[in-house]
Structure formats: C-alpha cells, structure tokens
Amino acid sequence: MQKYKTESTIIFWLHRIEDIIVTFLLSSILIFAVTQIILRNFFESGIIWADSLLRILVLWLALAGAILASRQGKQINIDVFSQFIPDPYKHHVQKLNFLFASVICLLISYYSFQFVSLEYETGGYAFAEVPAWVAEAVIPLGFAIMGMRYLVQTLTINKKSSNPEL
C-alpha cells in the first residue's frame, strides 16, 4: 500500500512538471510572437533570432504536447476493428498497440540521439549563440519519454482499466 502511494505521488509530480513545461512553452511563444509584432510595427525593429527561436519552441511544444497526448490516451488512431473484439480480449489488443508504439518511440529516440550527437560533434548554431544540438536534443528526449510511458502502459494495462493515465 505504501509503495503504491509513493508511486502515485511520483506520477502526480511528473504530470505537474509536464503541465508546467507545456504552459511555459506556450506562454513563451505568445510573449515572443507579440513582442516581435510590437517591435516591428511600432519601433521598426525586432529581435533578429526571434523567428528561429519561435520555430524551435513550436517543435518543443509539439513534443511536450505529444507526451501529454500519450499520457491521456489521446493520440490519434483509426480504430475501426477494435469494436468487433469481445470485451474480455480488448486489453490484449491494447497491450499489443502500446508495445508497438513503445518500440517505435524508443527506436526513434535511439536513432535521433545518434543524429544529435553527430550534430554535437560537428557544431553549428540554431540561432544566436545557441548550438543546434541543444534545439534538436528535445527529439530523442521526447520520444524516450513517450516510449517509456507506452512501455509502462503495456505492463500495467489490465481488464479493468483499458486506458490508464500514467
């Protein structure tokens, strides 16, 4: 029982951290975009690297959002056949789906990590003084988190909860 409680506390805080990151990224995009518009239209200036930064923030937000979506079981799927599967077997199919998603996410994480380490060695800048690999590192990181999440869901899914929020 104690163990279960600790687990759910950890999960609670993991979720709050994710929420905060998403909120922070969205607010940053709003603030930078509007600052840029004001600077351009009223002061005829602007931050040179703001557009690059905004585009990178969108990538980060996309991955953070995708992590949220996999936590809430909200990833887009087609799902026309599963309604024909009898209830007692549904969670087996779901298990397979999660396992598959997990393997693919971890593969993407692995290969994009190789790409990022290559970028780290060769250098190059995303904008201003920020190296490109920093902006790109979110890809292996995001997919690793999603892969782990799907793995946990694969292991914990059972007859009662067809879609655990983990």
Partner 1 sequence: MTTLLVVVVLISLALFGAPLFSVIAAAALYGFYIAGIELQVIGIELYRIAETPLLMALPLFTFSGYILSESNTSQRMLNLIQSMVGWMPGGLVIFAFIISALFTAFTGASGVTIVALGALLYPTLKKAGYSEKFSLGMVTASGSLGLLLAPSLPLILYGIIAQQMDLDVHFSINDLFIAGLLPVALMVIALSIYSVIKNRQFRINTETFDKRRIYSALWAMRWELPMPVLLIAGIYSGYFAISEAAAVIAIYVLFIEVLVYKEVSFSRLMRVIRESMAMVGSILLILAVSLALTNVFVDAEVPSILFDLIKDNVESKISFLILLNVFLLFVGAILDIFSALVIVVPLILPVAISFGIHPVHLGIIFLANMQIGYLTPPVGMNLFISGYRFKKPIAEIYSASFPFMLVLIIVLLAITYIPQLSLYFIAK
Q: Which residues bind partner 1 (CB under 8 A)?
A: 19, 22-23, 26, 29-30, 33-34, 36-37, 51, 54-56, 58-59, 61-72, 74-82, 85, 93-94, 96-97, 100-101, 104-105, 107-108, 111-116, 118, 135-136, 139-140
Q: Cα dihedral sign for 35, 38, 42, 46?
A: positive
Q: Nearest approach, Cβ of 112 to partner 1 (angstroms)?
A: 4
| Cβ-based nearer residue to partner 1, 67 or 129 | 67
Q: Nearest approach, Cβ of 35 to partner 1 (angstroms)?
A: 10
Q: Nearest approach, Cβ of 2 to partner 1 (angstroms)?
A: 29
C-alpha to C-alpha distance for 30 and 50, rounded to whole angstroms: 12
| Cβ-based nearer residue to partner 1, 9 or 61 | 61
| Cβ-based nearer residue to partner 1, 55 or 159 | 55
The amino acid at residue 28 is S
CA distances from 40 to 18, 33, 85, 160, 165 (A): 33, 11, 58, 56, 44
Nearest residue to 130 (alpha-carbon basis) of 17, 138, 72: 138
C-alpha to C-alpha distance for 139 and 117, rounded to whole angstroms: 12
Q: Nearest approach, Cβ of 11 to partner 1 (angstroms)?
A: 15
> How many other C-beta atoms are found inside a 10 Å radius of the C-beta of residue 122?
9
| Cβ-based nearer residue to partner 1, 1 or 80 | 80
